[in-house]
A and B are shown apart, each in its own frame.
Chain A
């Protein structure tokens, strides 16, 4: 039982990062109908921004993280103005192709700036671990889970109670009706993409404490896709639950079957859930008046 619990705890630590990234992915999709294939690359960008701030500017981790998130917000704003805004209203295929192109461009630019060699974060977070009821909890995992939980809670409060959050939700529900009610759709799109980029970057900053920083982090960031789909593409709590579920399934598969089984199991579970609930765990069936 302790072994099972250990796998679940390890899965929750990784899954909280997936959930954070999936949250940004869902937010962008919900607000703009853009299926952003570059979300994984924005995770990588966050990790590199943190590395750049620590390694090249000599900042401590917390300052580097804040700097990286601010730069990510500006990057999101830039992407909205230059890439996403002009493509609104285009066909789904066009938007998908543009985000794939964006993904390749981001990856190429990162390699040009930082080079292809692996980078590592300075060892600034506390090492070590504690054991509770036979389950080992590393301090890094606890910090990651804590930071992810606080970030998710802040975003939830923002969407539920702030005026901007309510306007964003209104745009997500029905952009035309919201615009008629006086909501500035373009401003909300900008905020959504900025927040989506910031959550991806935050995921990258956390992931970089578990992983070596390399362009391959974008592939790990892509696991946010099944997390978002599993939870429901329009559901913010669903993204978080989807991320945690994917993280736990991955660890249980790796522990009880094999490392290669993780992806198979994740997509098998995704398939089964979608067969039963096509809108995902938290997705609501859309009712259309005919």
Chain B
């Protein structure tokens, strides 16, 4: 594995007798995942899970971690907070695991956040980190993807840059879920700052059939740029409606909104209006860590998914897990793993910006950049370097 733990000095929390209760035996380590496997965001969550599985398979093929094989218990929350809570409780107490990776569904995070201190189970983040898991700092949560405040900062800055104007009329379109409300609120908080004039906040529900009415409203309100929260289906509807009405304005979406499906069936003249922000580097863009990731993905049977940013995010989530388990040492339990994660510094070899944790920093990645779609090569193109956008990021939840 090319990704290495640079400085991991996990504490020797007592494993011993307690290990049996934390899903750790002499030969196996039980780890849980909670993600939407069959619900409305499955198209994005499955590649993420495959990324996690790739790293776990690779570790197991190499003899496991400190002599133990990882036994991954995958739970499907179907994008439903109540199902997610049932899965969380199962993994905490009924079929105990030493750690949970994911808790991806935004609606689930505020439900789980108050339980972590009581249950003392480390949770490694996935594609989404909401405010509930970061502010105030949660001892047992270790984020991977940047939180929504970081995403909104980059989304707005890039959208404004595309308009070429200093003052822009901004609209936020969200899917009406709790995370959608969070993103809409973050955009509205920025009204009057940096030339952003927020004029519209519109909901495009996940079960919408067309976005004609939304785009007509954006046109009648003379919107210059749109911040989008939702999945690829919603943004595809927006682009189709833009194409239908001949309307051009930049739409910049949250990380999970960007998949190949977002651009499908859209004339390139209108497809170029959409970009999404991401913290990872898909394999179409070669960096030092790409070759090893692709090799591991091929071995795990997910070789065709490495161009998907969601897969790369999962690969990094899995890497944090495996490096944390290594650092926790032989006396592995939830306490020792939490301690190890809190001192972990992971070199992702260019697959993302810097990723490190400390006692006061659990958010994970905080560098992002926009991506667009190249219709010729059918792959994503990065708009600049991660460092290009560091100046606009306010780290509102973690500063």
Contacts and interface: CB of A to CB of B under 8 A. Distances in A.
Interface string B263-303: 01101000000000000000000000000000000000000
Given A127-B243, A129-B246, A216-B233, A10 B202 contact: no
Contacts of A254: 208, 213-214
Interface in B112-162: none
Nearest to A256: B213
B244 A207 contact: no
A157 B217 CA distance: 40
A255 B212 CA distance: 8
Contact of A118 (B203, B246, B259): B259
B267 A129 contact: no
Contacts of A138: 243-244
B387 interface: no
Interface in A1-52: 3, 6-7, 10, 13-14, 17
A136 B243 CA distance: 11
Contacts of A3: 216, 220
A127 B267 contact: yes
A121 B266 CA distance: 11
Contacts of A118: 43, 232-233, 259, 261
B46 interface: yes
Interface string A156-199: 00000000000000000000000000000000000000000000
B208 A129 contact: no
Interface residues of B, number: 37
A132 interface: no
Contacts of B265: 120-121, 123
A14 B210 contact: yes
A13 B210 CA distance: 10
Interface string A205-222: 001001110111001100
Nearest to B233: A212
Contact of A216 (B40, B204, B210, B267): B40
Contact of B38 (A120, A215, A258): A215
B264 A212 contact: yes
Nearest to B175: A259
B213 A251 contact: yes
Given A123-B265, A258-B203, A260-B205, A117 B42 contact: yes
B237 to A, nearest CB: 7
Contacts of A10: 210, 212-213
Nearest to A119: B261
Given A3-B216, A251-B213, A258-B202, 7 more contacts: A117-B47, A138-B244, A210-B240, A216-B40, A259-B203, A259-B213, A259-B214
26 contacts: A3-B216, A6-B216, A10-B212, A107-B38, A117-B46, A118-B259, A118-B261, A120-B264, A123-B265, A127-B267, A129-B244, A136-B246, A138-B243, A138-B244, A207-B209, A211-B209, A214-B42, A216-B233, A251-B210, A251-B213, A255-B217, A258-B203, A259-B203, A259-B204, A259-B208, A260-B203
Interface of B: 37-38, 40, 42-43, 46-47, 176, 202-210, 212-214, 216-217, 220, 232-233, 236-237, 240, 243-246, 259, 261, 264-265, 267
